[in-house]
Amino acid sequence: MEEDQEHHEVQATSSADKREHLYKILVIGELGTGKTSIIKRYVHQFFSQHYRATIGVDFALKVLNWDSNTVIRLQLWDIAGQERFGNMTRVYYKEAVGAFVVFDVTRAQTFDAVTKWKTDLDTKVTLADGSPIPTVLLANKCDQPKEGVVNNPARMDDYCRERGFSGWFETSAKENINIDEASRFLVNKILSNEKQGMMMTESMDNDKFSVDGKTNSIERSGCRC
């Protein structure tokens, strides 16, 4: 009986020690690029050829046991392809800390729209320091014949550097190619940004403490005169 109680207390302590993060992730891109399929595959390990086009915005939650001490909840916002032309994207984008921009490798025109999506994103949401949120480009449907620049990885690398993407992956929701890898890459970027933000805050607090310390010293010095 005592052993059971001790085991329960250890479990309670270990779960209490776990850090939990909730991150809002946007999934954007032209109509029919496979955004919903990617999310369904990632969250539910499920693929269907038959999805109705998303209207407005849809949501999904993915829980990751990141390591023994960390649980990460990803709130995935599946935003309809036509929404770039609407006025609601600023509302949808609010408080996002990462994004996927998706294009269809079988339709080169969906790649042409990627820059517009990235520009729209960068003008409507930023990190606390004003820098763009980490964004990963997904070249989806890579199990099918590809059109355009995606056939040249070096040019894709250059494109991503020039447009401020954190990286890019060829993906297939149908064959489950690189979905988990791309997500893990993005989450690593988000965690890195969060750590840098905390370090910056601590540094500012230390500077403030240092300045306050000098001020107090001067004030005390003045009192003795």
**Tokens of residue 175, six digits:** 């064959």
The rounded distance, in Å, linking the Cα atoms of 215 and 209 is 10
Asked whether residue 166 is domain-assigned, the answer is yes
The rounded distance, in Å, linking the Cα atoms of 78 and 24 is 11
Backbone angles phi, psi at 191, to 5 degrees: -60, -40
Asked whether residue 219 is domain-assigned, the answer is no
**Average pLDDT, whole number, for the chain?**
85
Asked whether residue 2 is domain-assigned, the answer is no
Asked whether residue 28 is domain-assigned, the answer is yes
Domains held by the chain: number: 1
Closest CA to 150 of 116, 111, 99: 111
Asked whether residue 7 is domain-assigned, the answer is no
Q: C-alpha 1: how far from its chain's center?
A: 46
DSSP 56: S
What are the pLDDT digits (tens) for 19-70? 899 999 999 999 999 999 999 999 999 898 777 777 778 999 999 999 999 9
Query: Scanning the structure block, which residue is given the tokens 């998303």?
Result: 54
Asked whether residue 130 is domain-assigned, the answer is yes
The rounded distance, in Å, linking the Cα atoms of 14 and 10 is 6
DSSP reduced 3-state for 67: strand
CATH number at 66 reads 3.40.50.300
Asked whether residue 164 is domain-assigned, the answer is yes
Query: Considering the entire predicted model, what is its pTM?
Result: 0.81
Q: Please, which pLDDT band fits residue 177 given cuts at 50, 70 and 90?
A: very high
Question: Whole domain around residue 92: which residue ranges?
Answer: 14-213
Would you state the pLDDT for residue 44? 94
